[in-house]
């Protein structure tokens, strides 16, 4: 699709800061220019003026989703019953739903049969967000999410599994370092892999050009994953047998590592405790510790864990952003940065995603209102552009 499109908005947030009223020019799937002078648009351009109440920003990035999980009460049963064709169809619907909420990039951290890769083969203009993928997460036999097909435990198995992901085109290798609630005998606070194995996995991933993401809950798993050199820590709940325990030294280590900590925000403690009276208390404790991580300077990135439960449909990310403010203590501008430019950096997409600037991908979200004073305005979607094409 050729031609020059000019989007005029009352306020433009470029992923790092507010730049005020501006015209954003899109051409060939890229941001061609950002004009704040009020100069008349080029004659050949098609102009879309969203009005003075509009707020234009980079499309949102959801750093942790599962397109293959259906956000139902039982996510495992339907996944086991579905054949690849029907699973792919539901993944497509999940991805479309994310895009309609302004989520223009998702990182799938656990699919079945590498179907995320099949889905993204349809291309950037197929009405889907950009999809980064890990394929099935590595887990020991019978471990957390083993039903996704990523079982590997010995040195030979884990190295082979990592190489397979790299060869297929995954950008990430996801490792279930901790246990969890989905189809595994290992509780979330216990580690499933020893440090030597984790080091091997990260070494092999980096050698193959992949980033490594660690699903971590317990303090031991968090510490080991930092030692092994993972690029991102997922969840980081500091869950223990008795509740939540983040000691100051470990919080400091996470912050000093410079790696990303993906906060899945309303992280419900996985397993039998979910829904119990102590649940809300544990959630509060998790968020408090995420607040400590934030104040210590950790690079926090929001991920919805979309798909794992009914309260996490695939378009849920925008409504989670207010938790970054209310629960973790960010200001709204920090929350917008976390879901755009900061997330892009953490995912290896700096400059290409999460920014409204010359040369960046033309992935754009336009909303009504001012998210910098009321973050809920992010949900009042006016238009979404993906790769320069209007998707909504
Ligand atoms: Zn997950």
Neighbour-count burial of 330, counting CB atoms closer than 10 A to its CB (0-12 exposed, 13-18 middle, 19+ buried): buried
Q: What mean pLDDT do residues 278-299 have?
A: 91
Out of 14-28, 32-46, 222-236, 276-290, which region has the weakest mean confidence (pLDDT)? Answer: 276-290
Residue 50 in tokens = 């969203």
CA of 303 to the centre of ligand 1 (A): 9
CA of 372 to the centre of ligand 1 (A): 29
How many other β-carbons are positioned within 10 Å of the β-carbon of residue 93?
12
Query: pTM for the complete prediction?
Result: 0.96
User: Cα–Cα distance between 381 and 59 in angstroms, integer?
Assistant: 11
CA of 62 to the centre of ligand 1 (A): 12
Confidence of residue 262 (pLDDT cuts 50, 70, 90): very high
Question: Structural domains in the chain?
Answer: 4-58+354-390 (2.30.40.10), 60-346 (3.20.20.140)
CA of 172 to the centre of ligand 1 (A): 13
**CB contact at 8 A, 353 and 60:** no
CA of 362 to the centre of ligand 1 (A): 28
Q: What is the mean pLDDT of the chain?
A: 94
Buried b or exposed e, range 333-352, using 16+ CB within 10 angstroms: bbbbbbbbbbbbbbbebeeb
Residues 6+ apart with CB under 8 A from 200: 155, 158, 159
Using the predicted structure, report yes or no on whether residue 356 has a pLDDT greater than 90: yes
CA of 110 to the centre of ligand 1 (A): 7
Residue 328 in tokens = 């973790």
Q: How do strand 60-65 and strand 103-108 relate by DSSP bridges?
A: parallel
Using the predicted structure, report yes or no on whether residue 332 has a pLDDT greater than 90: yes
Using the predicted structure, report yes or no on whether residue 376 has a pLDDT greater than 80: yes
User: Cα–Cα distance between 192 and 239 in angstroms, integer?
Assistant: 14
| pLDDT at 273 (0 to 100) | 43
CA of 144 to the centre of ligand 1 (A): 10
Confidence of residue 184 (pLDDT cuts 50, 70, 90): low
What is the per-residue pLDDT across 114-145, written as a single tens digit (0 to 9) for each?
Answer: 999 999 999 888 999 999 999 999 999 999 99
CA of 237 to the centre of ligand 1 (A): 13
Using the predicted structure, report yes or no on whether residue 276 has a pLDDT greater than 60: no
CA of 215 to the centre of ligand 1 (A): 7
What is the per-residue pLDDT across 203-226, written as a single tens digit (0 to 9) for each?
Answer: 999 999 999 999 999 999 999 999
Protein residues with C-beta less than 5 angstroms from the ion ligand 1: 305
SS3 labels along the chain: CCCEEEEEEEEEECCCCEEEEEEEEEECCEEEEEECCCCCCCCCCEEEECCCCEEEEECEEEEEECCCCCCCCCCHHHHHHCCHHHHHHHHHHHHHHHHHCCEEEEEECCCCCCHHHHHHCCCCCCCCCEEEECCCCEECCCCCCHHHCCECCCHHHHHHHHHHHHHHCCCEEEEECECCCCCCCCCCCCECCCHHHHHHHHHHHHHCCCEEEEEECCHHHHHHHHHHCCCEEEECCCECCCCECCCHHHHHHHHHHCCEEEECCCCCCCCCCCCCCCHHHHHHHHHHHHHHHHHCCCEEEECCCECCCCCCCCCCHHHHHHHHHHCCCCCHHHHHHHCCHHHHHHCCCECCECCCCCCCECCEEEEECCCCCCHHHHHCEEEEEECCEECC
CA of 297 to the centre of ligand 1 (A): 24
| pLDDT at 242 (0 to 100) | 84
Using the predicted structure, report yes or no on whether residue 338 has a pLDDT greater than 60: yes
CA of 227 to the centre of ligand 1 (A): 22
Using the predicted structure, report yes or no on whether residue 1 has a pLDDT greater than 60: no
| pLDDT at 229 (0 to 100) | 98
Query: What's the distance, CA 335 to chain centroid?
Result: 13
């Amino acid at each position: 699709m050729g031609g020059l499109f000019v989007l005029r908005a009352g306020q433009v947030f470029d992923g790092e800061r507010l730049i005020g009223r501006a015209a954003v020019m899109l051409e060939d799937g890229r941001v061609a220019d950002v004009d704040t002078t009020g100069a008349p648009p080029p004659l050949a351009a098609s102009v879309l003026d969203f009005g003075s109440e509009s707020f234009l920003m980079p499309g949102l990035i959801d750093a942790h989703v599962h397109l293959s999980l259906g956000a139902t009460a039982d996510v495992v049963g339907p996944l086991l019953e579905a054949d690849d064709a029907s699973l792919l169809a539901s993944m497509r619907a999940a991805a479309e739903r994310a895009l309609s909420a302004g989520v223009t990039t998702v990182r799938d951290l656990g699919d079945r049969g590498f179907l995320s890769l099949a889905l993204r083969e349809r291309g950037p203009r197929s009405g889907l967000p950009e999809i980064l993928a890990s394929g099935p997460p590595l887990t020991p036999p019978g471990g957390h999410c083993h039903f996704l097909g990523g079982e590997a435990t010995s040195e030979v198995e884990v190295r082979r599994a990592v190489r397979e992901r790299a060869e297929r085109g995954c950008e990430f290798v996801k490792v279930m370092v901790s246990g969890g609630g989905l189809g595994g005998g290992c509780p979330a606070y216990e580690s499933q892999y020893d440090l030597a194995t984790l080091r091997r996995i990260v070494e092999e991933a980096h050698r193959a050009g992949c980033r490594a993401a660690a699903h971590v809950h317990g303090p031991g798993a968090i510490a080991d994953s930092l030692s092994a050199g993972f690029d991102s820590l997922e969840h980081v709940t500091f869950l223990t047998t008795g509740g939540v325990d983040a000691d100051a030294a470990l919080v400091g280590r996470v912050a000093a590592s410079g790696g990303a900590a993906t906060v899945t925000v309303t992280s419900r403690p996985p397993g039998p405790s979910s829904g119990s009276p102590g649940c809300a208390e544990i959630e509060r404790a998790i968020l408090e510790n995420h607040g400590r991580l934030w104040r210590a300077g950790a690079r926090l990135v929001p991920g919805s864990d979309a798909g794992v439960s009914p309260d996490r449909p695939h378009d849920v990310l925008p409504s989670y952003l207010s938790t970054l403010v209310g629960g973790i203590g960010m200001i709204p501008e920090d929350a917008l940065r976390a879901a755009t430019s900061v997330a892009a950096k953490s995912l290896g997409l700096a400059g290409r995603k999460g920014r409204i600037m010359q040369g960046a991908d033309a992935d754009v979200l336009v909303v009504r209102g001012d998210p910098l004073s009321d973050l809920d305005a992010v949900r009042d979607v006016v238009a979404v552009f993906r790769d320069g094409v209007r998707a909504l």
